[in-house]
Amino acid sequence: MTIKYVEKTTRVSDVSAWDELYHSDVATVYEACNYRDYYRVKSSKTTKYFKGESAWMNVQRYVVDLGDFGGYGIFR
């Protein structure tokens, strides 16, 4: 399978599958299988999507802001 770079026009329905990167009681972080730099964060209240070059940093910050300080180790 070819991994493409995420673009501004990439939609959630374009993703073939999501790989789980991190799981805790507060949030679960997934990465798109067929796109680089495309992430989904599911918490108990909402699901948020992050894409682009700095998406990994925004995901980490979002998880920590939810109260899960283990989020600092997601992308190590």
The average pLDDT across 10-37 equals 95
Q: What is the dihedral of CA 44, 58, 20, 18, to 10 degrees?
A: 100
Specify the amino acid at residue 39.
Y
Residue 64 pLDDT: 94
Q: Which residues, in sequence order, are CB contacts of 40 under 8 Å at separation 6+?
A: 12, 18, 29, 30, 31, 32, 47, 48, 49, 50
What is the C-alpha to C-alpha distance for residues 15 and 24, in angstroms, rounded to an integer?
Answer: 23
The pLDDT of residue 76 is above 90: no
State the pLDDT confidence band at 30, using cuts at 50, 70 and 90.
Answer: very high
Evaluate whether 6 touches 36 at the Cβ level (below 8 Å): yes
Q: Where are the domains of the chain?
A: 15-67
